[in-house]
Amino acid sequence: MPSAWLSTHLRAARPRVLAALNRAFADLDLAEDAFQEASLKALKNWSPEDLPRDPAAWLVVAGRNAGIDIVRKKKRETLSAPEDLDPIIDLSDTEEALTDQLDRSVYRDDILRLLFTCCHPVLRRDQQIALSLKIVAGLSVDEIARAFLVQPKTMEQRITRAKKRLGAAKLRYEEPDAKARAERFSAVANAIYLVFNEGYSASHGSQLIRTPLCLEAIRLARLMVRLFPEEPELRGLLALCLIQHSRHRARVNTNGEAVTLEFQDRSKWDRRLISEGNVLLEAALRSAAPGPLQIEAAIAATHTRAATYDDTNWTELDRLYRALEIIRPSPVVLLNRAVVIAKLKGPEEALQLLEKLSAPLERYASYHAATAALLTDLEQYPKARAAYKAAIRHAGTDVERQHIQSKLDALGH
Amino acid sequence: MLFSVLIYANEDFMDAITPEEHAEIMRHHRAFHEHTKGAKTFAAATKLMSTGTAVTINKESDDYLVTDGPFAETKEQFMGFYMIDCPSLEEAIDTVKLLPLEHGRVEIRPVAYFEGADFKNAERLVIDAS
Segment B24-43, tens digit of pLDDT: 999 999 999 999 999 989 98
β-strand partners of B67: B56
Closest-approach residue (CA) in chain A for B14: A12
Most confident option among A44-53, A61-70, A308-317: A308-317
pTM (two decimals): 0.85
Residue A118, chain B, CB below 8 Å: the answer is no
Sequential DSSP letters for B28-77: HHHHHHHHHHHTT-EEEEEEPPPGGG-EEEEEETTEEEEEES-S---SSE
pLDDT of residue A208: 77
Query: What's the whole-number mean pLDDT along residues A107-125?
Result: 82
Which residues in chain B are closer than 8 Å to A223, comparing Cβ atoms?
Answer: 12, 15
pLDDT of residue A48: 76
Q: Measured between CA atoms, how close is B53 to chain A, in angstroms?
A: 5
Write the residue in A222, A274, A287 that is nearest to B50 by C-beta: A222
Q: Measured between CA atoms, how close is A8 to chain B, in angstroms?
A: 6
Per-residue pLDDT tens for A168-181?
A: 876 665 566 777 77
Interface test with A, best of B18, B55, B75, B102 (most A CBs within 10 A): B75
Residue A245, chain B, CB below 8 Å: the answer is no
Residue A33: pLDDT band by 50, 70, 90 thresholds? very high
Count CA atoms closer than 13 A to A97's CA, side-chain side: 7
Percent of chain A whose pLDDT exceeds 70? 90
Phi, psi of B54 (to 5 degrees): -80, 145
- What is the C-alpha to C-alpha distance for residues A403 and A395, in angstroms, rounded to an integer? 10
- What is the C-alpha to C-alpha distance for residues B28 and A190, in angstroms, rounded to an integer? 38
pLDDT of residue A317: 97
Given a cut of 70, is residue A325 above it in pLDDT?
Answer: yes
Residue A356, chain B, CB below 8 Å: the answer is no
- What is the C-alpha to C-alpha distance for residues B84 and B108, in angstroms, rounded to an integer? 10
Q: Where do the DSSP E strands lie in A250-355?
A: none
Which residues in chain A are closer than 8 Å to B129, comparing Cβ atoms?
Answer: 271-272, 275-276
pLDDT of residue A74: 82
Closest-approach residue (CA) in chain B for A220: B15
Q: How many CB pairs under 8 A join A and B?
A: 74
Q: Measured between CA atoms, how close is A232 to chain B, in angstroms?
A: 9
pLDDT of residue A81: 44
- What is the C-alpha to C-alpha distance for residues A17 and A24, in angstroms, rounded to an integer? 11
Average pLDDT of the residues of chain B: 86
Residue B66: pLDDT band by 50, 70, 90 thresholds? confident
ipTM: 0.82
- Cβ contact B16–A8 (<8 Å): yes
pLDDT of residue B84: 93
Q: Measured between CA atoms, how close is B98 to chain A, in angstroms?
A: 17
- What is the C-alpha to C-alpha distance for residues A277 and A222, in angstroms, rounded to an integer? 11
pLDDT of residue A239: 97
- Cβ contact B12–A229 (<8 Å): no
Query: What's the whole-number mean pLDDT along residues A19-41?
Result: 91
Which residues in chain B are closer than 8 Å to A281, comparing Cβ atoms?
Answer: none
Per-residue pLDDT tens for A196-208?
A: 988 888 776 777 7
B30-35: long-range contacts at Cβ-Cβ below 8 A with a sequence spacing of 24 or more?
B31/B98, B32/B82, B32/B95, B32/B96, B32/B98, B32/B99, B35/B95, B35/B98
pLDDT of residue A82: 44
Residue A12, chain B, CB below 8 Å: the answer is yes
- Cβ contact A48–B73 (<8 Å): no
Write the residue in B10, B12, B49 that is nearest to A279 by C-beta: B49
Please write down the HEC assignment for all residues of A29-66. Answer: HHHHHHHHHHHHHHHHHCECCECCCCHHHHHHHHHHHH
pLDDT of residue B76: 81
pLDDT of residue A174: 57
Write the CB contacts of A398 (distance below 8 Å, at least 6 apart in sequence).
A205, A206
Using DSSP's 3-state secondary structure scheme, residue A187 falls into helix
Given a cut of 70, is residue B130 above it in pLDDT?
Answer: no
Closest-approach residue (CA) in chain B for A57: B75
- What is the C-alpha to C-alpha distance for residues A65 and A88, in angstroms, rounded to an integer? 6
Per-residue pLDDT tens for B78-88?
A: 999 999 999 98
Which residues in chain B are closer than 8 Å to A219, comparing Cβ atoms?
Answer: 15-16
Residue A336: pLDDT band by 50, 70, 90 thresholds? very high
Closest-approach residue (CA) in chain B for A137: B16
Given a cut of 60, is residue A5 above it in pLDDT?
Answer: yes
Per-residue pLDDT tens for A237-285?
A: 999 999 999 999 999 888 888 898 999 999 999 999 999 999 999 999 9
pLDDT of residue A50: 80
Contact A281, A298 (CB under 8 A): yes
Average pLDDT of the residues of chain A: 86
Nearest one of B6, B51, B26 to A222, comparing CA atoms: B51
Residue A413: pLDDT band by 50, 70, 90 thresholds? low
Which segment of A353-362, A364-373, B47-56, B62-71 scores lowest on mean pLDDT? B62-71
Per-residue pLDDT tens for B101-121?
A: 877 789 999 898 888 766 555
Given a cut of 50, is residue A1 above it in pLDDT?
Answer: no
pLDDT of residue A326: 94
Which residues in chain A are closer than 8 Å to B54, comparing Cβ atoms?
Answer: 229
Given a cut of 70, is residue A79 above it in pLDDT?
Answer: no
